[in-house]
């Protein structure tokens, strides 16, 4: 019989609350014959304070054994900024070669958006996940003086760009509209911009049925707001992708609804699925957090593992629930319960 071995990282703040609901809905979606085995890991602020560790080599070896990872949120004001980001989240993305950071944006029925009218928002951003300015390649001289000079080098390799661009083309080809937009800034970032553009144009030849487009990142932010229907699949680098996916989440109903997958398409390493939002310590433990982003992340997880029908069922359940939400203020648990019922029914 089939089974899914899932590493679960509830993390900090609202992480444990939303992950509990994600697991509830995920289990409800699975057919009887699929055995879901979960193992919890205690990464995050508590562990850091207790041991000074964020993610050890042994941890990485342990996590490597799983089919996938479900992450709530990591981060707490008691930990200096950057420690958990670099020591945990980015470390996992790099070590597990999560080169596709998949972030769908779809405006659900009845969901309020800051955009005017009834915008048509249904696109996915394929954000590169292992390179760009995230590699920690930089430095500072004359640090702390008025003459300090800091550099933060954006690393872009042909290998890294081609594989993510290829993945984005394949995703575009599998969607009805078959359109892929490259977002970069090649009018200013000459070296990286030209690498991306050249590779994009070269790979495009292998996907003649995919319509291509290019936008500078600044212009893309305008169109996310004024013409979101322009977008089907977007491919971009790590930092541009970070920024535009927050905007994409904002226009599609807020980060309470935004799901993401840190994916290694080759499956050489487990992929990790997480809501785009953070640990929101201000509302932790109060049952106020919306678990929808985590639930939608479990749909991405199932799709990645080949459970397309079950993934689609979770997404449909969320759509149906969103359509009826209105002004209702349900607790984290209540939303999870309602989604689990819909998915099972
Ligand atoms: C995200 C986050 C992370 C990122 C931070 C926490 C390192 O903003 O997942 O979008 O910049 O990738
Ligand atoms: Mn971000």
Same domain, 165 and 199: yes
Is the pLDDT score of 165 beyond 80? yes
Residue identified by tokens 């080759």 is 266
Is 172:141 a contact under the CB 8 Å cutoff?
no
3-state secondary structure of 24: helix
Name the nearest CA neighbour of 276 among 72, 136, 3: 72
Same domain, 269 and 319: yes
Same domain, 55 and 13: yes
CA 154, 159, 160: angle at the middle one, nearest 5?
45
| Ligand at shortest distance from the CA of 129 | 1
Name the nearest CA neighbour of 224 among 207, 237, 200, 243: 243
Residues, Cβ < 5 Å to ion ligand 2: 242
Is the pLDDT score of 1 beyond 80? no
Question: Residue 327 — very low, low, confident or very high, per pLDDT cuts 50/70/90?
Answer: confident
pLDDT at 31: 94
Cα(276) to centroid of ligand 2, in Å? 7
Q: What residue owns the CA closest to ligand 1's atom 10?
A: 242
Q: What residue owns the CA closest to ligand 1's atom 6?
A: 85
- Tokens at residue 141, please? 């001289």
Please state whether beta strands 100-106 and 259-263 pair in parallel, antiparallel, or not at all (unpaired). antiparallel
Same domain, 101 and 200: no
Cα(342) to centroid of ligand 2, in Å? 30
Report the side by side order of strands in the sheet with 122-128: 34-40, 2-11, 68-73, 271-275, 259-263, 100-106, 122-128, 233-236, 179-184, 211-216
Asked if residue 129 is part of any domain, the answer here is no
Q: Which of 201, 224, 252 is the last residue of a domain?
A: 252
pLDDT at 328: 80
* Alpha-carbon 119 to chain mean position: 22
Asked if residue 85 is part of any domain, the answer here is yes
Same domain, 81 and 15: yes
Asked if residue 225 is part of any domain, the answer here is yes
Give the long-range contacts of residues 45-50, CB within 8 A, separation 24 or more. 45/12, 45/74, 45/75, 45/76, 45/78, 45/79, 45/84, 46/12, 48/79, 48/83, 48/84, 48/87, 49/78, 49/79
How many folded domains does the chain comprise? 2
Here the ipTM equals 0.99
Consult the annotation and say whether 288 binds a ligand: yes
Asked if residue 2 is part of any domain, the answer here is yes
Is the pLDDT score of 61 beyond 90? yes
Same domain, 335 and 271: yes
Across 83-95, average pLDDT: 96
pLDDT at 262: 98
Asked if residue 130 is part of any domain, the answer here is no
Consult the annotation and say whether 326 binds a ligand: no
Consult the annotation and say whether 290 binds a ligand: yes
Across 50-76, average pLDDT: 97
pLDDT at 39: 98
Same domain, 74 and 168: no
Q: What is the CA radius of gyration of the chain?
A: 20
Q: Which of 252, 277, 309 is the last residue of a domain?
A: 252
Same domain, 58 and 99: yes
In 10 A of CB 150, how many CB atoms?
10
Q: Give me the active site residues, please.
A: 134, 185, 218, 242, 246
Atom of ligand 1 nearest to the CA of 238: 12
CATH classification of the domain holding 203: 3.40.50.2300
The least confident of 166-170, 277-281, 285-289, 322-326 is 322-326
- Tokens at residue 328, please? 């209702």
Cα(209) to centroid of ligand 2, in Å? 32
Cα–Cα dist 277/284, whole Å: 13
Cα–Cα dist 337/340, whole Å: 5
Is the pLDDT score of 82 beyond 80? yes
Q: What residue owns the CA closest to ligand 1's atom 7?
A: 85
Phi then psi dihedrals of residue 41, to 5 deg: -120, 145
Distances (CA, A) of 222 to 200, 218, 330, 345: 22, 7, 34, 41
Asked if residue 125 is part of any domain, the answer here is no
Q: Which of 205, 222, 252 is the last residue of a domain?
A: 252
Owning domain of residue 226 = 113-120+151-252
Is the pLDDT score of 187 beyond 80? yes
pLDDT at 238: 98
Q: What is the DSSP letter of 329?
A: -
pLDDT digits (tens, 9 = 90+) for 3-47: 999 999 999 999 999 999 999 999 999 999 999 999 999 999 999
């Amino acid at each position: 019989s089939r089974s899914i071995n899932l590493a679960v990282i509830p993390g900090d703040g609202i992480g444990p609350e939303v992950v509990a609901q994600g697991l509830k809905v995920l289990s409800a979606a699975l057919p009887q014959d699929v055995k879901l085995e979960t193992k919890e890991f205690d990464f995050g602020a508590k562990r850091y304070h207790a041991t000074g560790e964020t993610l050890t080599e042994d941890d990485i070896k342990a996590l490597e054994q799983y089919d996938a990872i479900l992450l709530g949120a990591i981060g707490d004001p008691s930990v200096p900024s950057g420690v958990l980001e670099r020591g945990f989240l980015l470390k996992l993305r790099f070590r597990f070669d999560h080169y596709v950071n998949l972030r769908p944006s779809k405006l659900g029925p009845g969901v309020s958006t800051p955009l005017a009218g009834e915008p048509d928002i249904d696109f996915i951003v394929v954000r590169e996940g292992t390179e760009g300015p995230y590699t920690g390649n930089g430095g500072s001289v004359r640090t702390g003086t008025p003459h300090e000079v800091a550099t933060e080098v954006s690393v872009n390799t042909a290998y890294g760009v081609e594989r993510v661009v290829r993945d984005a083309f394949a995703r575009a080809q599998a969607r009805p509209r078959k359109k892929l937009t490259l977002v970069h800034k090649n009018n200013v970032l000459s070296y990286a911009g030209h690498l991306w553009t050249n590779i994009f144009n070269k790979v495009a030849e292998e996907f003649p049925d995919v319509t291509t487009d290019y936008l500078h990142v600044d212009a893309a932010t305008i169109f996310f707001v004024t013409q979101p229907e322009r977008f089907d699949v977007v491919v971009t680098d790590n930092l541009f992708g970070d920024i535009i996916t927050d905007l994409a989440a904002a226009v599609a109903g807020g980060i309470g609804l935004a799901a993401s997958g840190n994916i290694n398409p080759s499956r050489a390493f487990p992929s990790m699925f997480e809501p785009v939002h953070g640990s929101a310590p201000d509302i932790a433990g109060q049952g106020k957090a919306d678990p929808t982003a985590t639930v939608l992340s479990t749909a991405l997880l199932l799709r990645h593992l080949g459970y397309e029908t079950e993934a689609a069922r979770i997404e449909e359940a969320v759509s149906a629930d969103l359509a009826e939400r209105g002004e209702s203020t349900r607790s984290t648990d209540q939303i999870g319960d309602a989604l689990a019922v819909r998915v099972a029914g």
